[in-house]
Amino acid sequence: MVNFCKECVRLRVQKYWSKDIEAKRKKERKRGRRRWKNHEYKEKRLEYQRKYRLKNKKKVSVWNKIQRTNIIKPKGCSICKKTIKELEKHHPDYNLPLDIIWCCIPCHRKFHRR
């Protein structure tokens, strides 16, 4: 998640947990109990984790590539049009890595306050 702005990630996590939090917790607990039932399951889980990690790594590298090659940093905030050096990236949609809004810190805050 190197390229996500911290605020975006935090928001996403918050959204995930605020949605029927009890149901999710129960699910996690169930999973945790099953985890130690037998060795076979444990091994399967490890295998899955390994695979998942690999997949995740690939995803991140694609993100990095796209961002490195296609993103041109503007001279100023694209919201308030102020010319400023310290710009932050805001991701309105995580499925569209190229959909980025460059904005100054105060404008970025406004996005997350909504």
| Residues of the shown chain interacting with Zn ion in the complex, contacts defined by CB under 5 A | 5, 7-8, 77, 79-80, 90, 103-104, 107
- The nearest distance, CB 11 to Zn ion, in angstroms, is 7
Closer residue to Zn ion, CB minimum distance, 14 or 38 = 14
CA-to-CA distance for 40 and 44, rounded, in angstroms?
Answer: 6
Here the tokens at position 24 are 């999710």
Complex with Zn ion: residue 57 or 92, whichever CB lies closer: 92
CB contact at 8 A, 90 and 103: yes
Nearest-approach distance from CB 32 to Zn ion, in angstroms: 32
Write out the H or E segment, with its range, that includes residue 103.
strand 101-103
